[in-house]
Amino acid sequence: MQEYSRVAVLTRNDAINPLYHEDITQHVLKPDFLVIGAGVAGLRAAIELASAGQVLIVTKAEPKESSSEYAQGGIAAALSDDDEVELHELDTIAAGDGLCNREAVRVLVEEGPPAIEDLLEWGAEFDREGSKLLFAREGAHSRNRVLHAHGDSTGREIVRTLWQKVSAYPSVRILTFTAITELLKSGDTIAGAMAYDEWAGGMVSISAKATLLATGGLGRVYAATTNPDVATGDGVALAYRAGAEISDIEFVQFHPTALHLEGAPCFLLSEALRGEGAFLRNSAGHRFMSQYHPMAELAPRDVVSRSMVQEMLRSGASSIQLDLTHKSGGFVRNRFPRIYETCKRYGIDLATQSAPVHPAAHYAMGGVRTDLVGQTTLERLFAAGEAACTGVHGANRLASNSLLEGLVYGARAGRQMRGLAAAAAVDAEPVAKPTFPAIEESALRQLAWQKLGILRSGAELTEALAELSGIQCAEQPKAPRRQHELRNMHCVAQLIGRAALAREESRGAHRRTDFPNTRDEFQKHSLLRTGSAQVRFA
């Protein structure tokens, strides 16, 4: 088709490599289906859509640059002989601290095992002991049910497998180094999107019968995060500006163990390390987690992160020590090669030295509100993966459920979108010119870290919202991609602050120092929509 003449066609050789991208700013692209994001959820949806029409995947950077690619911990599913779907369901609900959508959880755990079987059929290479799959245990799981690939490269292996599968379909095209800046609307129906072509420095219009937000997380809103640079909350901000409902956005999970060394990246040290017996020690060298939770180092992530913060506040230390030196010499190097080599590069030999760690923003439980097939509150707009909120994670995600959610709900959204293949395209309304906040990205991220972070108070949240709303915004001709991302981060920070201020309790990953207890009247989901000043709970 003519409109695709300058968009790269996937081939097996292209998968997970940067793709050539020409100037397409003079073209209006007209795929049947628009998939925004190239992580697990987006790729899994594209596989479902490929037989129903032309699919265009849009990604801000190289195809491999997504949170999925960096996921180390694993993927959970009740596949082992001593496990049951019901146990996985109970563990997920317990971690969610009273806010899980039980129907969504049931879908996840029941459709999880066949989703893994699909990956195995498509060539995924998970770790094995002999001929049998090797299952590990992570925090708050009652059984060994977490699969890994190459020790600590699970996300990378799943993404590789999905790219190989999707590349077999000539109907799937990809547009790289292109950032979606606005969703196009006709009333309450989404008609496609506007995009910024980074290479050409201009705008592209994309018309589609159905659009999927699979944009991943929002960790870059915070100064310390395990997320890649592209995780700027784009899907949430795009959907909110278009009028879609945002739910549970106050629940941001801070992973307890990110490498904390001057000059080193905020590199995730997988929870699987603690699952294999790593200890957390305070500045005095003492293990402390048993004082906070009976599961000690394997307590839910929110408990571990807050406990670490309390230990650091008590001692004045800037980090906690993650200790694996009691394991045999070659264990860490063989079991977690990527983690071992990264730490070694920055002067830490995990076989003989403990690693300084500190919590960092890792995962958003909330996002664009959807039903169980990915439908948002706007017609023809779908969301899946971390950008979406089905309620499956409640107030705190169970470890290794995120990759599984991307697979299960990405496939569900794709199947639902197929029903629009015969629909007519919708003419979009004009889009207002964007305005951009006059603040340095580092200042915004530091503000979020200090006042919207692990421990929150009404006073600090009020101060943060006043600062954020007081930032001047103005038009900027030919704004680069980073300005569009900053605009989205500014929007998402305000949404987090508003929802966190309205939730006057502590639950899951949301901890208010002025409301330290869980309150029954808040066993509801927060809901925000543009045009409404109030946060609703339902």
Cβ–Cβ < 8 Å for 83, 145: yes
- According to DSSP, the residues that pair with 363 across neighbouring strands are 253
Retrieve residue 315's tokens. 């001692």
Instruction: Return the DSSP state at 287.
Output: B
User: What is the rounded CA–CA span in Å between residue 116 and residue 76?
Assistant: 9
Q: Under DSSP, is residue 514 helix (H, G, I), strand (E, B) or coil?
A: coil
Cα separations in angstroms, 429 against 186, 189, 205, 240: 6, 10, 12, 17
Kindly write down the DSSP assignment for every residue of 342-391, as one continuous string: HHHHTT--TTTS-EEEEEEEEEES-EEE--TTSB-SSBTEEE-GGGEE-S
Residues 9-41 as b/e (b if ≥16 CB within 10 A, e otherwise) read: ebeeebbbeebebeebbebebbbbbbbbbbbbb
Instruction: Return the DSSP state at 75.
Output: E
Contacts for 419 with CB less than 8 Å, ≥ 6 apart: none
User: What is the rounded CA–CA span in Å between residue 282 and residue 297?
Assistant: 13
Catalytic residue among 173, 301, 380, 445: 301
Instruction: Return the DSSP state at 515.
Output: B
- How many Cβ atoms are within 10 Å of 117's Cβ, its own excluded? 13
Cβ–Cβ < 8 Å for 67, 217: yes
Question: Count H helices, E strands: the chain?
Answer: 14, 26
User: What is the rounded CA–CA span in Å between residue 11 and residue 164?
Assistant: 8
Cβ–Cβ < 8 Å for 391, 525: yes
Q: Residue type at 419? A: G
Label residue 467 exposed, middle or buried (CB < 10 Å: 0-12, 13-18, 19+): middle
301 as an active site residue: the answer is: yes
- According to DSSP, the residues that pair with 55 across neighbouring strands are 33, 172
Cβ–Cβ < 8 Å for 54, 38: no
Kindly write down the DSSP assignment for every residue of 82-128, as one continuous string: T--HHHHHHHHHHHTTT---HHHHHHHHHHHHHHHHHHHHTT----E
Q: At what angle do helices 441-451 and 458-469 cross, to 10 degrees?
A: 160
Residues annotated as part of the active site: 301
